[in-house]
């Protein structure tokens, strides 16, 4: 059973289309874990990391009710250390909340063996006091220098209900 808080919008569907065929995942800042729950329901190996435990209680309840394996690290991506590597590390609408964001992306790249997928609002199209950075394409030039043709950035409109609030969302795909 999926309630309205766990329905996938276009941002999440784009991310899942890029990563669904992989086997192991780390979601950074899962919020209500739309993508992680989707992947867990498909018997994927998914772990989550976040500094906010409030949503985790709800996610844990859903996982327990559905018999899904639930792994959550209550840590910051900037200081998270593990021997484990994940095929894909992804963060949907999270990177704009982290400072220093480049260090966070570098941490994600270090944890991934195949790909890192990020989504973030374009510019200040969605203003929140929690946002530490408002992204423009030029912000990702340092990644292009390192990953070149293995790095893709594009925009996608968000769900229709958000169209006045958030015009576009950056999707950054980095393939190792």
Residue partners of 87: CB distance under 8 A and separation at least 6: 22, 23, 24, 25, 112, 113, 114, 115
Instruction: Let me know the angle formed at the C-alpha of 146 by 23 and 21, rounded to the nearest 5 degrees.
Output: 15
The Cα 82–Cα 38 span in angstroms is: 24
**pLDDT one-digit tens code per residue, 114-143:** 988 888 877 666 667 888 888 877 887 887
Q: What is the mean pLDDT of residues 99-111?
A: 92
Measure Cα distances from 172 to 8, 52, 76, 79, 125 in Å. Answer: 18, 24, 21, 22, 17
Q: So where are the chain's domains?
A: 4-175
Q: Name the residue among 116, 150, 98, 147 with its Cα closest to residue 25.
A: 116
The secondary structure of 117-145 as a DSSP string is EEEEEBTTSS--TT-S--B-GGGGHHHHH
Token pair for residue 83?
């021997």
Q: What is the pTM of this model?
A: 0.83
**Which pLDDT does position 18 carry in this prediction?**
73
Task: Please give the DSSP secondary-structure letter assigned to residue 37.
Answer: H
pLDDT one-digit tens code per residue, 61-87: 889 998 998 899 999 999 999 999 999
Name the more confident of 10 and 164. 10
d(CA 130, CA 6): 22
Q: Which residues pair with 150 in a beta bridge?
A: none
The pLDDT tens digits of the residues spanning 147-159 come to 766 777 666 654 4
Asked whether the beta carbons of 48 and 26 are under 8 A apart, the reply is yes
> What's the rounded Cα separation, in Å, for the pair 57 and 149?
40
Q: What is the tens place of the pLDDT at every residue in 22-63?
A: 889 999 998 878 888 888 888 789 999 998 888 888 888 889
Residue closest to 94 by CA, chosen among 33, 44, 136, 147: 33
Q: CATH number of 4-175: 3.30.450.40, 3.20.20.370, 3.40.50.150, 3.30.750.24?
A: 3.40.50.150
């Amino acid at each position: 059973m999926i309630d309205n808080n766990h329905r996938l919008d276009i941002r999440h569907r784009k991310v899942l289309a890029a990563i669904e065929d992989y086997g192991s995942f780390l979601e950074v800042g899962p919020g209500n874990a739309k993508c992680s729950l989707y992947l867990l329901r498909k018997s994927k190996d998914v772990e989550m990391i976040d500094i906010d435990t409030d949503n985790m209680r709800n996610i844990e309840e859903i996982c327990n009710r559905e018999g899904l394996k639930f792994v959550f690290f209550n840590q910051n991506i900037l200081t998270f250390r593990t021997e484990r590597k994940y095929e894909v590390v992804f963060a949907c609408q999270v990177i704009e909340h982290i400072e220093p964001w480049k260090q966070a992306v570098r941490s994600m790249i270090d944890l991934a063996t195949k790909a890192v997928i990020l989504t973030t609002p374009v510019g200040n199209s969605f203003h929140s006091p929690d946002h530490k950075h408002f992204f423009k394409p030029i912000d990702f030039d340092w990644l292009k220098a390192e990953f070149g043709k293995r790095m893709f950035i594009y925009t996608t409109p968000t769900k229709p209900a958000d169209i006045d609030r958030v015009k576009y969302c950056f999707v950054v795909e980095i393939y190792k």
